[in-house]
Amino acid sequence: MACNSSGCESGCYDREKDNGSKIVEDAVAGGGNQESVCVKCKCNEPMTFGDGGSDDGRFCAECFRNNVFGKFRLAVTSHAMITPSDNVLVAFSGGSSSRVALQFVHELQIKALKNYEASRDRSLPVFGVGVAFVDETAAFPALSTEMVDAIEWIRSTVSSLSPPAKDLHVVPVESVFGSDSLDARDRLVKLLDSVPDDTGKEDLLLHLKMLTLQKIASENGYNRLVVGSCTSRIASHVLSATVKGRGYSLSADIQHVDARWKVPIVLPLRDCVRLEITRLCLLDGLKTVELACRSQCGINDLVSSFVALLQEENPSRECTIVRTAAKLTPFYFNKIPETDDSNVPMATQRRLKRFNIKYDGSMTTEAFCPICNGPLNRSDSSGLDTFEECLESDVLYAACCSSCRFQILPEDGSSLEQFSSYLPDHMISQVKHQKVNSQAYLREKIKDCLLLDDEEVV
Amino acid sequence: MSSGEKMEAKSKKAGASRLCFLCNLRRPVLKRPKTLQQICRECFYEVFEEEIHQVIVQNRLFKSGERVAIGASGGKDSTVLAYVLSELNRRHNYGLDLFLLSIDEGITGYRDDSLETVKRNEVQYGLPLQIVSYKDLYGWTMDDIVKMIGLKNNCTFCGVFRRQALDRGATLLKVDKLVTGHNADDIAETVLLNILRGDIARLSRCTSITTGEDGPIPRCKPFKYTYEKEIVMYAYFKKLDYFSTECIYSPNAYRGFAREFIKDLERIRPRAILDIIKSGEDFRIATTTKMPEQGTCERCGYISSQKWCKACVLLEGLNRGLPKMGIGRPRGVNGDHKMEIKKPGSVAKSIESKQCGSLDF
């Protein structure tokens, strides 16, 4: 019991102040006080970043870091994003989110290596890590000198993250068009030039970038692709997808796992906001490089500044947006395909069962847009079967989602035909594949009425 | 029009020989907000009315012989709606009995003036008018309420009371349906707001063109796909008699972030408004999303998910001198959906624009 008198020299008042009431005060006032302590560990001095964030000055460096890493680790383990037998490719752009993703994956790997060396039977192998950088010089010729510097910097960054050693794959975005680099570059430039809409051009490049990453991953034997999209980025995506009329496919893009691709994509930083990421970079001295590739006038840019404005008004707005979108029903491919790999520890398998999203089997989709790979709503894809013997470009038009039709495909017939001739073969083959698929789907529906079993299926 | 013709049209831009994109006969006088086509006045009237007709037909909004009330505030949306609907009813033989239904909130200097407009519309369009007042229904005018509670939360009272007042007015008129002038911009804004707030239940139904089919009187929005700008344009060219003053108790209601964002989007890509509505319709929301169970208010018999309907709770608070009752965020769905965000050191600004009137999607 403190005597509460300033004249008392026993120090009891001060002691109590240190023990309890002071901390409560701090938590209420949000810190900022010189003598304050971290609200979590209650012993270290909290960090003040001075960036205007709401929880600035509440946590010490250690607790802050543990909190962010904890979110990452929870996402990784609860969705079985990385298991011991995996070979993981980290998509690295040089920006802060992917830098943090790379750092965290590296730390997981170090830990796995330590465990491996310490265990007697060495039953759990250490997962492999590779890093991919997509060089977009062909799309932004003005950036060529900066790009050279950036690549140099990335090489040194990645080589500093060893042991364990990590392979770095620097691949130009035009590589999805073929191996002849001059011809490929030419095709990329022509393809982008034929897209009239600025936002459409930006999005098309993003899709091509994803194709490139997929190509790197599958050619080099990776079975996971780690993308460092953070909450803020995903919140912007939610709104821009809404604005572009992509409400149906939206729920596919924002889950922790997206296995519609050949190599499943995982988003371990989905639950971390940008503020945390930049703070962490500051704290750990992680250097980043931002290449000014983005246009300043499109829909995407408008949406990002809107989200930034909302975030300023209410620091939890980004999380609310992502949480809303997370309530939409995901697709069947939004989970890591089940494996009976004995290397996956039992605990992980159990967790996976608990966290793996349940989906309604009746809501599966068959068709994907060949350009953005977004699942198609039935009403979007209905026109597909009417094109039996017609131009490839018409089939392409019919196979695309309404958003890509509007913002990416050129309007008139002749330029559309040209556009489809520039497209990477992968996208074109998907159009054909899809046509067969939808035929097969129709056949499936009427098969009980078909008399001959060996009837030709397209 | 082929690309060659387009070029030609462009090259002649300087001269007066440009022609309407649609009829190719008359001189264009406006750029259509929805498509950016340059068209003449006559074609604008035609496409504007025809689009609304198509929406009505395709969504089977009305059946022949129905009595339909038009929620009329005297503002641009409801005035244009009353005009167009009576016009289409005549032209396409919908066989509807149309009525104007106005709510008198009792706001001196605002509603009394706008009601004068509605009374003129009654004569101009030959539609019978019914006015329901807060004073008669609840014993309170908005002036009284504001005098008691001040300018904070007053829009909550007004919105809750209006929703019920419209239904009661519709019952008085014995109508089968109530149509409101909510336009595409309003709906797009609601979709965005529901995403920003995390309200998945409302997100799933805010884009439906007809709501409240399980309630006493279904409501529908024939202007669901009609751009606000085109409504203003239509009213302007037709020289319709409407009232355009803002509510004195919520003078800055039109400065919401979401509204500004939509206007910015429209500038870059006019189609964005329709795309947002399309997204809202396409969102994969499980049909099992929990909806409040509907019952009736024990006090007044109005539909309610709680023991007492919201209006009764608010009214009880007013009558007992506890105006804070029912305001704020009680558990569950009966909560207050307004969000007021204060920007430090600057003018208070909300993310939503229409604090009044559009609460009830």
My answer on whether A412 and A329 are in the same domain is: no
Closest CA to B160 of B274, B341, B312, B292: B312
DSSP SS3 for B211? strand
Q: Name every residue whose Cβ is closer than 8 Å to that of residue B312 and which is 6 or more positions away in sequence.
A: B297, B299, B300, B302, B304
Q: With an 8 Å Cβ cutoff, is A199 touching chain B?
A: yes
Q: With an 8 Å Cβ cutoff, is A245 touching chain B?
A: yes
My answer on whether A95 and A142 are in the same domain is: yes
Q: With an 8 Å Cβ cutoff, is A243 touching chain B?
A: yes
My answer on whether A50 and A113 are in the same domain is: no
Q: With an 8 Å Cβ cutoff, is A440 touching chain B?
A: no
Q: Tell whether the model's pLDDT for residue B3 goes beyond 80.
A: no
CA distance A210 to chain B (A): 24
Question: What are the φ and ψ backbone dihedral angles of A173, each rounded to 5 degrees?
Answer: -65, -25
DSSP SS3 for A282? helix
Q: How far apart are CA A279 and CA A58, in angstroms?
A: 13
My answer on whether A43 and A98 are in the same domain is: no
The token pair that represents B200 in the structure block:
């998945």
Q: Name every residue whose Cβ is closer than 8 Å to that of residue A447 and which is 6 or more positions away in sequence.
A: none
Alpha-carbon torsion angle A70, A74, A77, A79, nearest 10: -150
pLDDT of residue B308: 86
DSSP SS3 for A337? coil
Q: Taking CB atoms and an 8 Å limit, are A329 and B284 in contact across chains?
A: yes
Element (H, E) at A145: helix A144-160
Q: Which of A242, A325, A360 sits opposite B276 (nearest CB)?
A: A242
Q: Taking CB atoms and an 8 Å limit, are A360 and B286 in contact across chains?
A: yes
**Helix B154-172 crosses helix B142-149 at what angle (to 10 degrees)?**
160
Burial label, A5 (beta-carbon count in 10 A; 0-12, 13-18, 19+): exposed
Q: In tens digits, what is the pLDDT along chain A, a chain of 458 residues?
A: 344 444 444 444 444 444 444 444 444 444 444 567 888 888 888 878 877 777 777 888 888 899 999 999 999 988 888 888 889 999 999 899 999 999 999 999 999 898 888 888 777 788 899 999 999 888 888 888 888 888 999 999 998 887 788 899 999 999 988 888 888 899 999 999 999 888 999 999 999 999 999 999 999 999 999 999 999 999 999 999 999 999 999 999 999 999 888 899 999 999 999 988 999 998 888 888 887 666 677 899 999 999 998 888 888 899 999 999 998 988 888 887 766 555 556 666 666 665 555 544 444 556 888 889 988 887 665 555 554 556 677 788 888 889 999 999 888 888 888 888 888 887 877 777 666 666 666 666 666 676 665 544 43
My answer on whether A199 and A303 are in the same domain is: yes
Q: Which of A298, A321, A328 sits opposite B283 (nearest CB)?
A: A328
For chain A, how big is the Rg over CA atoms in Å?
A: 26
My answer on whether A108 and A33 are in the same domain is: no
The total number of residues shown for chain B amounts to 361
My answer on whether A287 and A393 are in the same domain is: no
Nearest residue of chain A to residue B3 (CA atoms): A412
Disruptive mutation site among B260, B265, B266, B279 for chain A (greatest number of A CBs within 10 Å): B279
CA distance A286 to chain B (A): 32
Residue A69: inside a domain, yes or no? Answer: no
Nearest residue of chain A to residue B346 (CA atoms): A313
Residue A67: inside a domain, yes or no? Answer: no
Q: With an 8 Å Cβ cutoff, is B197 touching chain A?
A: yes
Q: Taking CB atoms and an 8 Å limit, are A251 and B351 in contact across chains?
A: no
Q: Which residues of A249-266 are buried (b: 16+ CB within 10 A; e: fewer)?
A: bbbbbbbbbbbbbebbbb
ipTM of the complex: 0.82
Residue A458: inside a domain, yes or no? Answer: no
Question: What are the φ and ψ backbone dihedral angles of B53, each rounded to 5 degrees?
Answer: -60, -45
My answer on whether A190 and A132 are in the same domain is: yes
Q: Taking CB atoms and an 8 Å limit, are A324 and B195 in contact across chains?
A: yes
Strand order in the sheet with A128-135: A167-172, A128-135, A87-91, A224-226, A265-266, A257-258
Chain A hits for B285, Cβ within 8 Å:
327-329
Q: How far apart are CA A414 and CA B170, in angstroms?
A: 56
Contacts 24+ apart (CB under 8 A), A204-209: A204/A371, A204/A408, A205/A136, A205/A139, A205/A173, A207/A371, A207/A372, A207/A373, A208/A173, A208/A176, A208/A424, A209/A134, A209/A136, A209/A173
Q: Which residues of B84-114 are buried (b: 16+ CB within 10 A; e: fewer)?
A: bbbbbbeeeebebbbbbbbbbbbbeebbeeb
Element (H, E) at A265: strand A265-266
Sole residue written with tokens 């011991």: A84
Domains along chain B with CATH numbers:
1-43 (no CATH), 62-334 (3.40.50.620)
My answer on whether A22 and A125 are in the same domain is: no
Q: Which of B268, B279, B349 sits opposite A245 (nearest CB)?
A: B279
Q: Which of A299, A327, A412 sits opposite B200 (nearest CB)?
A: A327
My answer on whether A94 and A152 are in the same domain is: yes
Q: Per-residue pLDDT averaged across B107-115, rounded?
A: 89
The token pair that represents A99 in the structure block:
């830098």
Q: Taking CB atoms and an 8 Å limit, are A239 and B280 in contact across chains?
A: no
Q: How far apart are CA A399 and CA A431, in angstroms?
A: 6
Q: Give the structural domain span for A445.
A: 378-449
242-271 in chain B: CB under 8 A from chain A: 257, 261, 264-265, 268-269, 271
Closest CA to A256 of A74, A124, A389, A115: A74
DSSP state of A21: I
The token pair that represents B303 in the structure block:
């539909």
CA distance A331 to chain B (A): 9
Q: How far apart are CA A306 and CA A185, in angstroms?
A: 35
Q: Which of A238, A298, A363 sits opposite B195 (nearest CB)?
A: A238
Q: With an 8 Å Cβ cutoff, is A418 touching chain B?
A: no
Is the omega angle on the peptide bond into residue A163 within 30 degrees of 0, that is, cis? yes
User: What share of chain B has pLDDT > 70, as a percent?
Assistant: 82
Pairing of strands B97-104, A87-91: unpaired
E-assigned strand segments in A97-206: 128-135, 167-172
Least confident of B130-134, B200-204, B210-214, B336-340: B336-340
My answer on whether A95 and A228 are in the same domain is: yes
**Helix A317-326 crosses helix A299-313 at what angle (to 10 degrees)?**
120
The CB-side HSE value for B173 (13 A sphere, CA atoms) comes to: 29
Maximum separation of any 2 CA atoms in chain B, in Å: 74
Q: How far apart are CA B277 and CA B282, in angstroms?
A: 9
- Bridge partners of A87, per DSSP, are A128
Nearest residue of chain B to residue A317 (CA atoms): B196
pLDDT of residue B237: 93
Burial label, A364 (beta-carbon count in 10 A; 0-12, 13-18, 19+): exposed
Chain B hits for A239, Cβ within 8 Å:
192, 195
Q: Which of A309, A320, A403 sits opposite B198 (nearest CB)?
A: A320
Element (H, E) at B190: helix B184-197
Q: How far apart are CA A327 and CA B294, in angstroms?
A: 23
pLDDT of residue A320: 93
B195-249 tens-digit pLDDT:
998 888 889 888 999 988 877 799 999 999 999 999 999 999 999 988 887 788 8
Q: Taking CB atoms and an 8 Å limit, are B276 and A250 in contact across chains?
A: no
Q: Taking CB atoms and an 8 Å limit, are A310 and B351 in contact across chains?
A: yes
- Bridge partners of A134, per DSSP, are A171
pLDDT of residue B43: 94
Residue A73: inside a domain, yes or no? Answer: no
Question: What are the φ and ψ backbone dihedral angles of B124, each rounded to 5 degrees?
Answer: -60, -45
The total number of residues shown for chain A amounts to 458
Chain B hits for A297, Cβ within 8 Å:
268
Of A331, A363, A395, the one marking the end of a domain is: A363
My answer on whether A56 and A89 are in the same domain is: no
Residue A313: inside a domain, yes or no? Answer: yes
Closest CA to B277 of B180, B183, B171, B149: B183
The structural domain count of chain A equals 3
Asked if residues B196 and B258 have their Cβ atoms less than 8 Å apart, the reply is: yes
Residue A287: inside a domain, yes or no? Answer: yes
Number of CB pairs, chain A paired with chain B, less than 8 A apart? 102
Question: What are the φ and ψ backbone dihedral angles of B63, each rounded to 5 degrees?
Answer: -115, 150
- Bridge partners of A169, per DSSP, are A132
Q: How many CB atoms lie within 10 A of CB A282?
A: 13
CA distance A298 to chain B (A): 7
- Compare A425 and B323 and report the one with higher pLDDT: A425
- Tell me the pTM: 0.83
E-assigned strand segments in chain B: 30-31, 38-39, 67-71, 97-104, 129-133, 177-179, 210-211, 219-220, 295-296, 303-304
CA distance B281 to chain A (A): 8
Q: Taking CB atoms and an 8 Å limit, are A299 and B279 in contact across chains?
A: no
Residue A71: inside a domain, yes or no? Answer: no
Q: Which of A199, A248, A321 sits opposite B195 (nearest CB)?
A: A321
Asked if residues A231 and A276 have their Cβ atoms less than 8 Å apart, the reply is: no
Of A296, A328, A363, the one marking the end of a domain is: A363
Of A337, A363, A389, the one marking the end of a domain is: A363
Q: With an 8 Å Cβ cutoff, is B239 touching chain A?
A: no
Q: How far apart are CA A427 and CA A131, in angstroms?
A: 25
Burial label, A236 (beta-carbon count in 10 A; 0-12, 13-18, 19+): buried
**CA angle at B261 for the pair B259 and B267, rounded to the nearest 5°:** 105
Which string of DSSP letters, residue by residue, matches B58-102? HTT---TT-EEEEE--SSHHHHHHHHHHHHHHHHTT---EEEEEE
Q: How far apart are CA A122 and CA B163, in angstroms?
A: 69
Q: With an 8 Å Cβ cutoff, is A176 touching chain B?
A: no
Q: Tell whether the model's pLDDT for residue B63 goes beyond 80.
A: yes
Chain B hits for A242, Cβ within 8 Å:
191-192, 195, 275-276, 279-280
Residue A157: inside a domain, yes or no? Answer: yes
Burial label, B74 (beta-carbon count in 10 A; 0-12, 13-18, 19+): buried
